[in-house]
Amino acid sequence: MSADNPPVPILYSDDVLLAIDKPAGLPSLPDGYNPGAQHVRSLLEPHFGRVWIVHRLDRGTSGVLLLARSAEAHRLLNQQFDQRQVKKVYHALVNGSPDWKEKTVDLPLRVDVGHKHRTAVDPARGKPAVTHLRVLERFAGYTLVEAVPETGRTHQIRAHLAALGHPLVADDLYGSDPVADSFAIMPRLGLHARRLTLSHPILHSVLTFEAPYPDDFVQALEQLRGG
């Protein structure tokens, strides 16, 4: 078995860890409606042997995705995520111009709501969810925002930004209009997992993985800057 020429960009690899730069459009896990479709594990396991998904990225999200290469590493990494010891940094391209430079969103979220299985703000029945936001760059009608989630609720960043009135570009599930300019700016979800910082589960050294913007994200920013 060889790790030569893997089908997705590899950011880091050793005997227990694997960090990849997941392309947008590639699901992290098998699709229950299409079991034969490619997903992260099906592409990587022929090159690296069995791998375990430690956390998930939505199909439309690009960027840093962490996998374990042993059951013990998987267990130890899950502990770090559960204990909020992992720092995740996302860059989000959103609709509109926030009236804040920095903001912490503390809105409880309830997942799997309604027939569209959305995540909804629900102060009564939702679980705690905190996201730290910071404006990185403003454009005409759009803004590039850094999002650092403290908690790991499904669709947390998407739901929190939508609740503030600034849904992600091309996110029709949470408020972007499919016929609006946002879908011309970027035809997929405007979310990129930029950096991930954690402790190596065996060596205990601090590791930071960073994924560069993919071509579609770069082109969207250039278009908005008038380049």
227 — pLDDT class (breaks 50, 70, 90): low
Q: Which domain holds residue 138?
A: 10-225
Q: CA dist 87 to 76, 95, 100, 156, 219, Å?
A: 16, 25, 23, 15, 27
Q: Residues 124-139, buried b or exposed e (16+ Cβ, 10 A)? A: eebeebbbebebeeeb
pTM comes to: 0.93
Task: Judge whether 35 lies within some domain.
Answer: yes
172 as an active site residue: the answer is no
Q: How many residues does the chain have?
A: 227
Q: Does residue 4 fall inside a structural domain?
A: no
Give the total number of structural domains in the chain: 1
Domain assignment present for 67: yes
Q: What is the CATH number of the domain that holds 145?
A: 3.30.2350.10
Considering the candidates 4, 14, 21, 58, report the single residue annotated as catalytic.
58
Instruction: Note whether residue 158 is domain-resident.
Output: yes
Supply the pLDDT for residue 1: 46
Q: What is the rounded average pLDDT of the residues 63-72?
A: 96
Residue 2 included in any domain:
no
The whole-number pLDDT of residue 177 equals 72
Question: Which of 116-120, 142-146, 162-166 has the lowest average pLDDT?
Answer: 116-120
pLDDT of residue 184: 87
Residue 5 counted as domain residue: no
With 0-12 / 13-18 / 19 or more C-beta atoms within 10 angstroms meaning exposed / middle / buried, residue 178 is exposed
- What is the percent of the chain with per-residue pLDDT over 70, rounded to a whole number? 94
Is pLDDT at 66 greater than 80 in this prediction? yes
The arithmetic mean of pLDDT across residues 176-204, rounded, is 89
